[in-house]
Amino acid sequence: MLYHLLYPLHTSISAFNVFRYITFRAIYASLTAFLICFVMGPWFIRKLSAMQIGQYIREDGPEAHHKKAGTPTMGGTLIIFAVTTATLLWVNLTNIYIWILLLVTLSYAGIGFTDDYLMQVKKRNKGLTVRGKLALQVIFAAAAGALVCMQPDFDTQVTIPFFKQIRPDLGWGYVIVAVLVIVGTSNAVNLTDGLDGLAIGPVIIAAVTYMVFAYVAGHVKFASYLQINYVAASGETAIFCGALAGAGLGFLWFNAYPAQMFMGDVGSLPLGGALGTIAVITKQEILLVIVGGLFVVEALSVILQVGFFKMTKGRRIFRMAPLHHHFELKGWAEPKVIVRFWIIAIAMALIAMSTLKLR
C-alpha cells in the first residue's frame, strides 16, 4: 500500500525513490512485522489468558512438559496478522505471487485456527480429523500450484540442487510437486513445534535464506549470472519473506524458553505452508529439503518411529518421536536441545546458500 501511495511521489520528493527497491521494502516489512508482534505481544498474551486459551499437556509426554500446562496458545494468530499487515503495507499489490502466498498462508491459518478453536476454546479433546485437515491442505496447495503454473512467465521445470543443468519439465505434473512441498512442509513444521522456540527459530532462518533466493530469482542479471531459474516478478516475494522473518523474531521474544505463549496450529500450519509456497515460486522446491533440513529430520524421525513401532508391535528406534523428545528424555536440558537444533538449522541454511555458487 505504501508502495502505491508513496512511490508515485518520487517525481516531486526524490527521497521516495527508495520505495522502488525490493531490498528497502523487505527490510521495512521485516521491521514492521517485528514491531507488531513485539508491541502487541503482551496485550495478546493477556487476552489469550483471559479467554482461558491455555495449552492442554499430554500425560504421556516428557515429565518436564507438565509444568507448561495452561501456557497461552494460538499465538500464531498474532504472527499471521503481523505477516499479512506488513506484507500488504510494503509490497506491490499487483503482484500475483504475493496473493498466492497470502492464499496459502491465510487458508492454512484458517485450518489451524479451526482445529485449535475446537480443542482450546470448545475444549473438545479432538479438533478436525487428521484426514479432514490433510484434505483441506491438499485443496489449497493444489489451487496455489495451479495458479503458479498458469503464470505465463513461470516454467514448470524442477530445480535440482548442485545439478543446475538437470531441470526436468513436469508440465501440469508440477502441481503434484507443489502440493507435496507445501503440505509436507506445513506438517513438518507442525511436528517440530514441540519445544519453546524450536519451530520459529528455523522458520526465521529459512525465511531469511529464501529472502535471498527470491531476490536473486527475480533479478534477471543475478539469476543468469548464478545460472538459476529466472522467475519474472518473483523478487517481490522477498518482501513477504522479510515480513515472515520479522514476525517470527517478534514472536520468538515471547516464545523463547520459558515460553509465555505457544503458536498453536494456527501458527505452525501456515508458517510451513508459506515456506513451501515460497520454495515453489522461487523455483527452489527441492532445496527446501536442505534449507528446512531440521523439519525434514523431525518428520523422518516420526515416520521411522511409527513404522518401526507398528512393524515390531511396540519396539522403538528413539526414546520418543519427534526427535526433540528423544534428546529431552536422554537428559539434555530443553534450552540445550533448542539451541543445538537451531545451530543445525543455520548450518543447513549455509549449505543451501552454497548451491548458488556450486553446480
Coil vs helix vs strand at 357: coil
Query: DSSP label at 259?
Result: P
Distance CA 65, CA 254 (A): 17
Segments in 258-332 forming alpha helices (H): 265-281, 288-291, 293-311, 323-329
User: Minimum CB separation from ligand 57M for residue 80, in Å?
Assistant: 13
List Cβ neighbours of 222 (8 Å cut-off, separation of 6 or more).
215, 216
Is 77 a residue that touches ligand 57M (CB under 6 A)? no
Kindly write out the interface string for residues 254-283 of this chain, putting x where it contacts ligand 57M by CB under 6 A and - elsewhere: -x---x--xxxx--x---------------
Is 137 a residue that touches ligand 57M (CB under 6 A)? no
Is 73 a residue that touches ligand 57M (CB under 6 A)? yes
Taken in order 338, 339, 345, 348, is the CA torsion positive or negative? Answer: negative
Chain-centroid distance of CA 283 in Å reads 16
User: Minimum CB separation from ligand 57M for residue 329, in Å?
Assistant: 10
Is 61 a residue that touches ligand 57M (CB under 6 A)? yes
User: Minimum CB separation from ligand 57M for residue 285, in Å?
Assistant: 24
C-alpha grid cell, residue 177: 510437486
135 vs 350 by CB, closer to ligand 57M: 135
User: Minimum CB separation from ligand 57M for residue 274, in Å?
Assistant: 15
- The DSSP code sequence of 34-94 is HHHHHHHHHHHHHHHHHTT-B----TTS-GGGGGGTT-B--THHHHHHHHHHHHHHHS-TT
81 vs 309 by CB, closer to ligand 57M: 309
Coil vs helix vs strand at 115: helix
On the question of a cis peptide bond just before residue 258, with omega within 30 degrees of 0, the verdict is yes
C-alpha grid cell, residue 212: 535471498
113 vs 210 by CB, closer to ligand 57M: 113
Stretch that binds ligand 57M, among 6-14, 41-49, 274-282, 315-323 (CB under 6 A): 315-323
Can you tell me which of 93, 256, 289, 320 binds ligand 57M, judged by CB under 6 A? 320
Query: How many distinct helices (H) and strands (E) make up the chain?
Result: 14, 0
Cβ contact 333:349 at 8 Å:
no
Is 190 a residue that touches ligand 57M (CB under 6 A)? yes
User: Minimum CB separation from ligand 57M for residue 60, in Å?
Assistant: 5
259 vs 281 by CB, closer to ligand 57M: 259
Q: What share of the chain is helix, strand, coil (3-state, %, to 5)?
A: 70, 0, 30
User: Minimum CB separation from ligand 57M for residue 194, in Å?
Assistant: 4
Stretch that binds ligand 57M, among 65-73, 177-185, 206-214, 275-283 (CB under 6 A): 65-73
Is 322 a residue that touches ligand 57M (CB under 6 A)? yes
User: How many residues in the shown chain lie near ligand 57M by CB under 6 A?
Assistant: 29
135 vs 166 by CB, closer to ligand 57M: 135
120 vs 277 by CB, closer to ligand 57M: 120
Stretch that binds ligand 57M, among 14-22, 85-93, 132-140, 186-194 (CB under 6 A): 186-194
Is 309 a residue that touches ligand 57M (CB under 6 A)? yes
Is 127 a residue that touches ligand 57M (CB under 6 A)? no
332: left (phi over 0), alpha (psi -120 to 50) or beta: beta
Question: In Å, how far are 30, 70, 265, 267, 302 from 128, measured between CA atoms?
Answer: 33, 21, 11, 16, 20
145 vs 267 by CB, closer to ligand 57M: 267
Site residues (vs ligand 57M, CB under 6 A): 55, 57-58, 60-61, 65, 68, 73, 190-191, 193-196, 255, 259, 262-265, 268, 302, 305-306, 309, 316, 320-322
